[in-house]
C-alpha cells in the first residue's frame, strides 16, 4: 500500500509550510508558503547567509525593503524545487491599512518580476482583517492573486469569498489550541473545532459555487490532516509531511463537492466586525497572530540591520 502522503496527494494539493529547501526537495510538495516566522528561521540557516547579505545591498538602510528582498530571494530558491507557487507575506504591521498593504504587495510582485519570476507563480499573503480583505479585492482585480491568512472565523471566510480572493488559509491547529485551553479537554477526529471550521467553510464555498481555494493550515497532528483529506489544499509542516510519508494504511477522502452547505451570505463592514467580535476565539487568535508575525518581522529587521 502507498503511504498516506501519496494517498493524500490524490485528493488534495499538498503545500509545504516551510522555508527549508532540503525538506521541500525531499517531500516534493506542489506549492510552498512562508511567513515572517518561517523567514526568521530560514535566516538562521547557513545556506541563506549569502541571500541575507545581498538583501541589504542597495537598500539605503531601508529595512522593510531589505526584508522584502530577502523574502523574495528565499521564494526564488523555493520556486526552483517546486512546480507550483510560493506564498510571500506582506508586513503584518500593515494589517489595518488597505493602501499600504496594496503598495507592499505591488513591491513584492515587482521584486519577483525583476528576478524573472512571473506573478502567476506568486501568491501575496495578507492577514484576513477587513482592511486586508479590501486590499486583496483590489489586488485580485489588478491581476495579483492573494492568500488570505490568519483566518479563524466563518465571517472572515464569507467576506474573502465575496471579495473574490484566490485562496484562504484557515488555521486548524490554532483553533484547536484555543478550544483545548478554553474547555480543558482534548479533541480528536471530526469533533476537533479546527477540523469543523474548515469543513464548514469548504462546504459553504462548494455549495455556493465560489472559486476561492480553501487551504487548511497550522496542523498539530496527523488526525487533523486525515479528517480534511479532499480539501482543495493543505499546507503542512515538514515534520508532519514526513510522518505522512512514513505512515501506511488507508486514507479515506473526507471532503468532496456536493455536500450540503449554508445559503450564500454577504457581509458589509458593520456585519463583519460584529460577527468577528462575537467570536472570541477568532478575535483573540487573529490579534495574537498579527502581533507574533509583527514581532518576528522586527527580529528579522534587527538581524538585517546588523549586516549594515
pLDDT tens figures, 202-245 = 999 999 999 999 999 999 999 999 999 999 999 999 999 999 99
List 4, 9, 41, 125, catalytic entry = 125
For residue 204, CA distances in Å to 21, 30, 260, 274 come to: 35, 25, 8, 20
Range ranked top by mean pLDDT from 25-29, 158-162, 303-307: 158-162
Catalytic, 125? Answer: yes
Q: What is the band of 45 on the pLDDT scale with cuts at 50, 70, 90? A: confident
CA-CA distance, 118 to 29, in Å (whole number)?
A: 19
**What is the SS3 assignment for 79?**
helix
- For the stretch 97-135, pLDDT in tens is 999 999 999 999 999 999 999 999 999 999 999 999 999
CA-CA distance, 261 to 46, in Å (whole number)?
A: 48
Amino acid at each position: 500500500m502507498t503511504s498516506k502522503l501519496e494517498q493524500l496527494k490524490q485528493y488534495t494539493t499538498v503545500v509545504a509550510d516551510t522555508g527549508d529547501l532540503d525538506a521541500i526537495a525531499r517531500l516534493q510538495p506542489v506549492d510552498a508558503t512562508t511567513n515572517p516566522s518561517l523567514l526568521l528561521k530560514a535566516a538562521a540557516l547557513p545556506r541563506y547567509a549569502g541571500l541575507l547579505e545581498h538583501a541589504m545591498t542597495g537598500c539605503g538602510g531601508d529595512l522593510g525593503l531589505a526584508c522584502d528582498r530577502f523574502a523574495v530571494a528565499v521564494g526564488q530558491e523555493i520556486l526552483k524545487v517546486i512546480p507550483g507557487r510560493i506564498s510571500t507575506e506582506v508586513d503584518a504591521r500593515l494589517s489595518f491599512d488597505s493602501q499600504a498593504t496594496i503598495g507592499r504587495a505591488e513591491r513584492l510582485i515587482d521584486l519577483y518580476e525583476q528576478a524573472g519570476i512571473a506573478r502567476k507563480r506568486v501568491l501575496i499573503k495578507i492577514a484576513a482583517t477587513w482592511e486586508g480583505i479590501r486590499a486583496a479585492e483590489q489586488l485580485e482585480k489588478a491581476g495579483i492573486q492573494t492568500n488570505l491568512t490568519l483566518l479563524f472565523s466563518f465571517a472572515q471566510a464569507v467576506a474573502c469569498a465575496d471579495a473574490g480572493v484566490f485562496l484562504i488559509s484557515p488555521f486548524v491547529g490554532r483553533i484547536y489550541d484555543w478550544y483545548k485551553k478554553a474547555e480543558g479537554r482534548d479533541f480528536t477526529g471530526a469533533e476537533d473545532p479546527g477540523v469543523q471550521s474548515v469543513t464548514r467553510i469548504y462546504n459553504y464555498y462548494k455549495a455556493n459555487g465560489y472559486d476561492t481555494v480553501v487551504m487548511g493550515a497550522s496542523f498539530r497532528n496527523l488526525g487533523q490532516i486525515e479528517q480534511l483529506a479532499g480539501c482543495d489544499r493543505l499546507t503542512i509542516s515538514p515534520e508532519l509531511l514526513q510522518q505522512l510519508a512514513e505512515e501506511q494504511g488507508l486514507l479515506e477522502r473526507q471532503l468532496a463537492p456536493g455536500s450540503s452547505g449554508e445559503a450564500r451570505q454577504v457581509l458589509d463592514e458593520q456585519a463583519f466586525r460584529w460577527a468577528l467580535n462575537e467570536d472570541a476565539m477568532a478575535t483573540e487568535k487573529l490579534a495574537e497572530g498579527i502581533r507574533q508575525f509583527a514581532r518576528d518581522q522586527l527580529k528579522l529587521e534587527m538581524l538585517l540591520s546588523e549586516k549594515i
